[in-house]
Structure 1
């Protein structure tokens, strides 16, 4: 027999004529697949393993594995012991906690009984520190008394508080006993207190003769720890080339960090850096921004400069407010400019500007 003749391959339909008014539905013909021919592997009939039907055997195997794994995990975890905080030496713990605030001391005292006993002197120091500040500033219903304040700070310092050491050094410095003040600054600085490090660095700058290199070393430690006044002082040294080579870029960087931390003098200097392009890319917008921040926080020169800027922009009444504030803070040059602007304002605007100046309050800042 002859094999059957395959049916003829249909020819694709002719494309519709563009001149015909009737649009016919076209069928999309599938393209031939270009994929290779795959051949299926034949199935191999392998004999399956016969599983036992006895459930006890499976249960025994499972429980034996579970018991062995649990015993091994228990033995591994039993080897790990909880850390013994009480084994920390008292002197090491006292040195670590010397700069702790009262809330941190209270939290650390709850760790274990040994820590509670070791930190008792520092908790007592916090009470002396509190009373020392009351006597120094006349708070809490007591009159200012520097001698009693110093006595309280010294008692707190004797119990290991670096904050009390710094306050004792401040009083000695204000009393003119700078050697005693520097000694307490040094003790606090060596225990890692950033305020003590900053004050010690500044005391080296103000010494006769000044020791700028030693000052830079302590100011840098405090700056890295985030002390904004130390950052500002370090920037001044870099700007002026005191104790190290002048570096305007580094100076501007530390000015900016201190300004972002709320130090008002650094805000003013950051504005100048942006204004003149010293160490920072020149930007009048950022210069005005930082000048206003410093002015709103009571910097008299910034108030004068910001008032002049407002005057040049045509903001007459606002300019009078800032110039009035600068004049009251001692900027004598602001008086002349203010009087010139006042003559151009109406009586209502003048009264409004003075009223705003009378009720102005500086934003919180660090000085």
Structure 2
């Protein structure tokens, strides 16, 4: 459905052989798709592939071009954190991943702000926030900056009452907003609300 982050995750599965036979050529192909969508992480991954010859012939000129392109997207610290979190060109290190996401958040980079929230939610490189207050705070900040995944995450938290009082009306509002931004999970949740009639009139018609 064109979700850049999930397309990247499929590439990771092929790269690491998670749930599927390892196939570096397919990993490269899936990294290319989000890169073409303008996704920073996907662009960085394509640079990594050209740098180390993952599923494609090594080409340092192209590697540099993609790294530079990713850096120009603004989420420089977030990209470094992503590499540490996912063992891309460096040893996996959750603490360093969080540190770079936090640096990213401190200077107002949207993806890093969202990822810092995810670290607090899941205990990646930092003590897990069992009450989810900090995670919600970071998701709310990234949503305010117009980051589709952050908008969806805020909706999810209102939907299930994580770190905030449950409010399905607000959940629908944020899900709908993320859906309008093209976020696939948000689209699914909007459909689910209409299917079940949650805070909106039940409507299962095919348009």
TM-score of the aligned structures, taking structure 2 as reference length: 0.62
Q: Give yes or no for the alignment of 1:169 onto 2:81.
A: yes
> Which is higher, the Rg of structure 1 or of structure 2?
1
Tell me by how many angstroms 1:210 deviates. 3.0
Q: Give yes or no for the alignment of 1:256 onto 2:176.
A: yes
Q: Give yes or no for the alignment of 1:203 onto 2:119.
A: yes
Number of aligned residue pairs: 148
Q: Deviations over 1:149-179 (max 9, x none)?
A: xxx8xx98xx998522111100111133111
Q: Which residue of 2 aligns with 1:181?
A: 97
Which runs of no fewer than 5 residues in structure 2 stay unpaired? Answer: 1-40
1:42-57 → structure 2 map (5 Å cutoff): none
Q: Quote the Cα distance in structure 1 between the aligned partners of 2:143 and 2:199.
A: 19
Aligned equivalent of 2:53, options 143, 152, 176: 143
Tell me by how many angstroms 1:228 deviates. 0.7
Q: Quote the Cα distance in structure 1 between the aligned partners of 2:179 and 2:170.
A: 14
Tell me by how many angstroms 1:282 deviates. 2.2
Tell me by how many angstroms 1:190 deviates. 1.2
TM-score of the aligned structures, taking structure 1 as reference length: 0.36
- The structure-2 alpha-carbon separation of the partners of 1:191 and 1:161, relative to structure 1 and needing over 3 Å to count, comes to farther
Q: Which residue of 2 aligns with 1:227?
A: 147
Q: Quote the Cα distance in structure 2 between the aligned partners of 1:226 and 1:261.
A: 9
Q: Which residue of 2 aligns with 1:236?
A: 156
Q: Secondary structure of 1:144's partner?
A: coil
Q: Quote the Cα distance in structure 1 between the aligned partners of 2:118 and 2:158.
A: 14
CA-based RMSD: 3.1
- The structure-2 alpha-carbon separation of the partners of 1:227 and 1:165, relative to structure 1 and needing over 3 Å to count, comes to same
Q: Quote the Cα distance in structure 1 between the aligned partners of 2:188 and 2:165.
A: 23
Q: Quote the Cα distance in structure 2 between the aligned partners of 1:231 and 1:218.
A: 11
Q: Quote the Cα distance in structure 1 between the aligned partners of 2:82 and 2:140.
A: 21
